[in-house]
Amino acid sequence: WKKLYLAHHWPVTVCKMSANDCQDPPEYWTIHGLWPDKGEECNRTWHFNVTEIKDLMSDMRHYWPDVLHSSPNRTQFWKHEWEKHGTCAATLEVLNSQKKYFGKALELYQHIDLNSCLLKAGIKPSSSYYQMTTIKEALTRFYGVTPKIQCLPPEKGEKAQTIGQIEFCFTKELQLRNCTALKGESDTMQPDLKLGSEELSVCSDTLPTYYPSKVQ
């Protein structure tokens, strides 16, 4: 693989996509995962062991919660992320254990600080719409790179898309880089978030964009 995606998702949109037991989703962007751009389940024998990340637990629950299942002792989401993506990312020395993988993802999340960047740009959850170009420009100005932004397409009768996920890309040296594919790179990352029939896709620049403050 060539690059890593640090995916943040907006809990309110995740809940909107799923008729699940979402209770009071966090009103801040949380971690969806840290994904190499290729590879899935690279080492099936390397099982998730929650005791390896016990020191990270309070941060994990806060910044990387299982939005869809509000029981705090549930570790299924992290297990899935480790087995599918972490075992692939572990070819890098800085990510070659569960503690390093989850710890580094938390560190990158704090470093990006997406929540405060959006607020500083005056972009906050609202019942009125945003232009996608406004959001993109604010992020690119702030970080100096182009992130990948995914939305829930408009439902029947709606005219707006709903923002759902913002991914930042990193090189293997963990430096920020553009998410657009470079020459000779294939961009094969499939969306990881598909709930029922609804799934996120790259946002349209022309549709009005909804950044919802609570689950409708």
Residue positions annotated with a catalytic role: 32, 81, 85
Q: What CA–CA distance (Å, rounded) separates 128 from 35?
A: 32
Tokens of 72: 């705090």
DSSP of 55-75: GGHHHHHHHS--TTB--TT--
Q: Are 162 and 146 in contact (CB under 8 A)?
A: no
Report DSSP state, residue 90: T
- Integer Cα distance of 61 and 77 in angstroms: 11
User: Can you read off the two tokens belonging to residue 205?
Assistant: 């620049």
Which residues are within 8 A (CB) of 88 and not within 5 positions of it... i.e. 6 or more apart? 1, 36, 38, 39, 40, 41, 42
Q: Is 108 exposed, middle or buried (0-12, 13-18, 19+ CB in 10 A)?
A: middle
- Residue 16 carries which side chain, given as an amino acid letter? K
Spatial contact of 33 and 101, defined as CB atoms under 8 Å apart: no
Whole-angstrom Cα distance, residue 176 to residue 179?
Answer: 9
